[in-house]
Amino acid sequence: MIRITDEDMDLKKIAESGQTFRAKMVNEGVYRFIYKSSALFITKKAPCTFEVSCSPKEWEKIWIPYFDLENSYFMDPKDFENPYLKKAIEAGKGIRILRQDPWECLISFIISQRKNIPAISSCVEKMSGERGREIETPLGTVKSFPDPSSLLSDLSSFKLGYRQAYVEEAAKNVAEGKLDLGALAALPDAELKLELKKIKGVGEKIANCVLLFGYHRMSCAPVDVWIEKIINEWFKGVNPFPEMGEKAGILQQYLYFYARSI
């Protein structure tokens, strides 16, 4: 058993929050998360208490950072004036901003254009199943997300449409070293966003998704159709995130989750 901080973690909310497309419930209450060449099966047993498929050493090295468990997400709804935001904070409790692999994050969100979450998840899972590397786990073999070189051959079977050219170019540039996603991590937010937007198929929204979910830049808040609707209806058309500082990414996830659940 693993005991986490006093701030609880909701696996279902995280898996359905739209920030990752391979997290899923594989059995009743058992959730699977994959990070690079590691896979975790995790089950909530009691408040703040989880059963995990990994060793304590792996939990500390990989999964505590992945779930961002070293940082506090506590927010008191009373500190916020907007009534919708107050409700979203209550509804979103338990969501964590995952520290994902920038490569997987980039390709997943390029694929996400004009697709719903089930369609994106299905596509990413199919690509991983056919092009990923095997990961042995106590519950069987799973596949990693494909590395850049594995996406250099024909991708037509994945039915990516116009996105195929974007994925192919990104894979080629990373495989050849023209695009170093690791080196980009040293850049400040604004410069990193500019570099990401140079990648074919990456606009403002996808760049912010990669910034938040791939590089853990917490002041970045992606604006999709759900968030745009919230801004228009509950914030009088004025984007509130620039004023939220390092809480922006967390509050964006709370708002996104709440909007899709009511």
Tens digit of each residue's pLDDT (9 = 90 or more) over 64-88: 999 999 999 999 999 999 999 999 9
Q: How confident is the model at residue 182 (pLDDT cuts 50, 70, 90)?
A: very high
DSSP state letter for 132: S
Residue recorded with tokens 């570099």: 195
Check whether 6 has a pLDDT greater than 80. Answer: no
- Say if CB 247 and CB 75 are below 8 A apart: yes
The pLDDT tens digits of the residues spanning 114-162 come to 788 899 999 999 999 999 999 999 888 999 999 999 999 999 999 999 9
pLDDT digits (tens, 9 = 90+) for 22-62: 999 999 999 999 999 999 999 999 999 999 999 999 999 99
For residues 89 and 256, is the Cβ–Cβ distance under 8 A?
no
- The reported pLDDT for the residue numbered 11 is 97
Rounded to two decimals, the pTM is: 0.95
In sequence order, what are the residues at sequence separation of 6 or more whose Cβ sits closer than 8 angstroms to the Cβ of residue 143?
128, 129, 132, 133, 134, 135
Catalytic member of 78, 205, 229, 236? 205
Q: For all residues of the chain together, what is the average pLDDT?
A: 95
CATH (residue range 100-215): 1.10.340.30
Q: State both tokens at 23.
A: 């997290």
Q: Any catalytic annotation for residue 93?
A: no
